Structure 1
Amino acid sequence: MTITRTPVAAPSDSPLSNGLKQRHLSMIALGGVIGAGLFVGSGAGIAAAGPSIVLAYAISGLLVMLVMRMLGEMSAANPASGSFSVHAERSIGPWAGFTAGWMFWILLCVGIAVEAIGAAKIMTGWFPGTESWIWVLLFMAMFCAANLAAVSNFGEFEFWFAAMKIAAIGLFLVLGVLAVLGLLPGTDSPGGSNLSGTGGFMPNGMDGMVIGLLASVFAYGGLETVTIAAAESEQPVKGVARAVRSAMWRIALFYVGSMLVVVTLIPWNDPAVVADGPYVAVLEHLDIPAAGEIMNVIVLVALLSAMNANIYGASRMSHSLIARGEGPKALGRISGGVPRLTVLASSVFGFFAVLLSYWWPTTVFTWLLNMVGAAVLVVWGFIAAAQLRMRGRLERESPEKLVVKMWFFPVLTWVALLGVLGILVLMARQDSTRVQLYSTGGLALALAVVGYVRQRTAPRRTAAPKG
């Protein structure tokens, strides 16, 4: 018989606020899909997969849509700042919520460090002679302070960051489509020459396609934050439903659409695609003045946006875990509707990871990066497993809560689970990703063991005499 435990509430002065307005949540949902990984990291995927990168992004995009739909179904039925961690605990067991939640927290905190380092690199390029650690400290302090003050500050930052990213990617798509059609002054339509020439649509065969697929999967990480934010919005159920329902066209337009524009306009093996990034390469091909600096501004915005979102997401996830008795109670206090101690703890961990990149860049920091290399896949696996078990209970007990429904349940849920497992198998086959897979697997196993031990021993601790 499985022993479960009653969640223990952490000390708090007041509940989390509902300070996020619908416009904040809508823009977070729209802009959250556009990250620095799309602007910069997609170059390596194009170099490996060639024009078939479009297919790679479409396949991984379909998987992400299924995951977001499942997460949306559970989050609309039970909005919670712990999102999938709460759903995993309710559907699978406390050990699952513990594993998924703390793995996601580590992933976000490492992400804070990576984004801070990337933003500092851009700033030192603009201001030669300045030290990168100064910029890291400035950005960390700025977003930590914003998240400490009120959730509306996070929402307002993300609103404007998202607006700038959407405007940038929208303008890029308009210019790209005009160039593809030969309607942009000074350009001729390339037709399909870049899609079928230079080795064909899949120049490096299935191996290249697989590398492109793996690169595209990790570009989608971070979409889960919108369901965390929805719990602090004015209308959480409506907000989750709207965000999830718009996921399909956002992914199709921003990711698949922009990749199609890139590989149609310029040869996939153009050295500038990797050296400068695919978007810079296209803008320079179109003779857009100062293309490199324009993209640096956009990438900086994307990095700062991700930093802000990760501090927010990490603080809410850790607060939710603590409130359920899965973390140090001393950090669980809320003041002014904000879990300030978990905001500070998440920011400090992120800054410590930055220091590791300076002290031990090729050893400890690389090991830390590898540990979270496949973490998003582990999270997606928990989401699918939780939804598979929760759906039946919702239909029996609270059918009115099924505001968002997973398509063709349970068939597509199993398809998503098999898709996650398939990607993990592909990672095991590639030398470049095998270490990440094993490192993440080790972290997941360690967290699962700790979570399971806590689950089995907690009732005994609770029943023990005081003092």
Structure 2
Amino acid sequence: MTSVQVGKEDGHGDGNAARSAAGGGEDQGYHRALGARQIQMIAIGGAIGTGLFLGAGKAISKAGPSLILAYAIAGLVIFFIMRALGELLMYRPVSGSFSDYAREFIGPFAGFATGWTYWLFWVVTGMTEVTAAAHYMTYWFDIPQWVSALIFTLILYGANLISVKIFGELEFWFSMVKVTAIVGMILICAGIITLGFTDAGDTASFSLLWSDGGFFPKGIGGTLMTLQIVMFAFLAVELVGVTAGESKDPEKTLPKAINTVPWRIAVFYIGALIMILSVVSWTNFEPGVSPFVAAFDKMGLAVGAGIVNFVVLTAALSSCNSGMYSTGRMLRGLALNNQGPKIFTRLTRNGTPLIGTTFSAALMMFGVWINYQWPGEAFNKIVSFATISGMWAWIMILVSQIRYRAKVNRGELPESTFKAPGAPYTSWFALCFIGLVIVLMGVDKDARVSLYVAPVWGLLLGVSYLVLRKRDPEGAAFSKR
């Protein structure tokens, strides 16, 4: 995560010191070119990717209509996480928020581990998204998945060498396509239910949500086992915090973007699933097939299915593009805090972190190899590790917010202008929910691999931290501020 300051004075004695924690310079060389329109659309579109468009197919087959309830409960937890992040951002709005807050409120190693883990999350997520994009290409063309994955990775790497303003504009329109498509799908399904047109019109009814095996056709256990897929779908909602260093007015745009979380979840996840499952029975969906594409196929709208497949392809590429944007800035933030190689601090004339982006894109090529080795299992193998690494950032956000609120109550720190409602109780609830998801991942044989890899990654981080500390025991990397 980048550690870019957002020069806002808070009127308190330690405000300037807090905001300069990551080193000199108010914006660290970045260009503040992301406007409110772009920030809002990045926030809306950031979480609409493979988790909803591809992963939901497997989740529906496991839980049936009760998946709607899983998304609703998980969505509430996500709102608690985002409001906790919002409270911290308005206390000290830096785009290196996760690692900076972990360093300040938990300890230097927590900041180090959070920064590198979140960077790894986006590298892995980039692999996931490019894997999904390659899978979507098979709808039209009989070409190996690894070939498509390679081409997409190279194209997106090239796109990330442009200015942040162009990046923001591209993401705005990418996200607009996704949002328009989901709203269009909801309206079409509503028309089928009320007017009865297309092949699905004769059977479309809200009663499909409970008449085909009940609302819990696989039992409560089946619903619980989908939670890691559901949580993966919400990963990247926190990306809006990374944009703080390049947004024009973060004190206004970030709270507005965070407050859109409830209706985003209500419309794009819960609303879309209710409509799809009311038009096509849950028994018609299967793992590895986008429920949106499958729904149009079952409706007899082959052209519509092709259009939706193009939209979900765009969604995956958009999310991967956001990942490439994030990774370069995260590496630069780590380097500015003496927690990564100094070479990552270099910027191009356009203010883009070329070295960090190049390094991250090179690692994303590993996803191409996974697609070559296991084309049918690539998505599931990558998604489980992406989930556990992404949830680590959420855990750090919640713990940091709990400790921040405790210091505020003791009068040690200024109060945020964007308080999280119900905190710290809502933060504790969210932490317990994440703990439940991790336990369930251990039960699921497909997701268990991530719990094997996580300790290895933790050991690598621990050894790296000790080496850095031995070289520079008094350095900025080992202080809390």
TM range (shorter): 0.7 to 0.9
Provide the rounded CA distance (Å) in 2 between the counterparts of 1:143 and 1:327: 24
User: How is 1:419-458 mapped onto 2 (pairs within 5 angstroms)?
Assistant: 419-448=433-462, 450-451=464-465, 454=468, 458=472
Kept in 2, the 8 Å contact 1:241–1:403? The answer is: no
- CA distance in 2 between counterparts of 1:203 and 1:220 reads 24
Query: Contact (CA 8 Å) 1:180, 1:265: kept in 2 or not?
Result: yes
Which residue of structure 2 aligns with residue 143 of structure 1? 156
**In structure 2, which of residues 40, 44, 48 is the aligned counterpart of residue 30 of structure 1?**
44
Q: What residue number does 1:77 align with?
A: 91
Structure 2 CA distance for aligned equivalents of residues 177 and 444 of structure 1: 48
TM-score (norm 2): 0.85
**Equivalent residue, structure 2, for 1:383:** 397
Aligned-pair CA distance for 1:441: 3.9
Equivalent residue, structure 2, for 1:258: 272
Q: How many residues are aligned here?
A: 454
Give the Cα separation in 2 of the matches to 1:180 and 1:365: 33
**Cα separation, 2, equivalents of 1:23 and 1:160:** 11
Return 179-188 or 6-15, whichever deviates more. 6-15
Q: Quote how far apart the aligned CAs of 1:135 are.
A: 4.1
- Counterparts in 2 of 1:17 and 1:436: CA distance versus 1, 3 Å: same
Residue 415 of structure 1, aligned match among 397, 421, 429: 429
* 2:313 is equivalent to residue 300 of structure 1: yes
Correspondence for 1:199: 213
The answer for the alignment partner of 1:94 in structure 2 is 108
Shift of residue 457 of structure 1? 6.6
CA distance in 2, matches of 1:366, 1:257: 25
Give the conservation status (yes or no) of the 8 Å contact 2:59–2:287.
no
**Identity across matched positions, percent:** 34
SS in 2 for 1:231: helix
Alpha-carbon distance in 1 for matches of 2:377, 2:300 = 42
**Contact persistence 2:65–2:277 (CA under 8 A):** yes
Q: CA deviation at 1:321?
A: 1.0
Deviation per CA, 1:416-459: give whole Å up to 9, x if none. 11111121122223333223223224423542454366457732
8 A contact 1:182–1:189 mirrored in 2: no
Show the counterpart of 1:3. none
- Aligned partner of 2:78 in structure 1 is 64
Q: 1:185-225: CA deviations, max 9, x gaps?
A: 77247444322223211111122111222221111111121
CA contact (8 A) 1:181 1:189 kept: no
TM superposition score normalised by structure 1? 0.88
Structure 2 Cα separation of the partners of residues 323 and 421 of structure 1: 32
Q: 1:165 aligned to 2:182?
A: no
By how many angstroms is 1:27 displaced? Answer: 0.8
Give SS of 1:342's match.
helix
Inter-CA distance 377–445: structure 2 relative to 1 (3 Å threshold): farther
Deviations 1:274-305 (A, max 9, x none): 46432123223333342331122011101110
Deviation of 1:150 (Å) = 1.2
Q: In structure 1, what is the Cα distance between the partners aligned to 2:51 and 2:385?
A: 18
Gap change, CA 1:219 and 1:461, over 3 Å in 2: closer
In 2, the alpha carbon distance for the partners of 1:459 and 1:363 equals 44
For residues 136 and 432 of structure 1, the distance between their equivalents in structure 2, rounded to whole angstroms, comes to 23
**Alpha-carbon offset, residue 81 of structure 1:** 2.5
Query: Which residue of 1 is the match for residue 193 of structure 2?
Result: 180
Residue identity matched to 1:194: L
Q: Which residue of 2 aligns with 1:120?
A: 134
Q: Distance in 2 between matches of 1:409 and 1:66?
A: 8
Q: Where do 1:317-396 residues align within 5 Å?
A: 317-336=330-349, 337-355=351-369, 357-358=371-372, 371-394=385-408, 396=411
SS in 2 for 1:299: helix
| SS state at 1:79 partner | coil
Match of 2:246 in 1: 232
Instruction: For structure 2, list consecutive stretches of 5 or more residues without a partner in the other structure.
Output: 1-19, 477-481
Of 289, 294, 304, 1:291 maps to 304
Distance 2:90 2:253 in 1: 8
**Counterpart Cα distance in 2 of 1:11 and 1:404:** 25
Residues 99-120 of structure 1 show CA distances to partners (whole Å, capped at 9, x for unaligned) of: 1111111121122223223323
Distance in 2 (CA, whole Å) between partners of 1:260 and 1:132 is 31
Corresponding residue for residue 208 of structure 1 = 222
- Deviation larger for 351-360 or 34-43: 351-360
Q: Classify the secondary structure of the residue corresponding to 1:20.
A: coil
Task: Name stretches of at least 5 consecutive residues in structure 1 with no aligned partner.
Answer: 1-5, 463-467
Query: Compared with structure 1, are the counterparts of its residues 305 and 363 closer, same or farther at alpha carbon in structure 2 (3 Å cutoff)?
Result: closer
- SS of the counterpart of 1:305? helix
Relative to structure 1, the CA distance from residue 177 to residue 453 in structure 2 (aligned partners, 3 Å threshold; closer, same or farther) is farther
Name whichever of 141-150 and 160-169 sits farther off: 141-150
Q: Distance in 1 between matches of 2:382 and 2:458?
A: 13
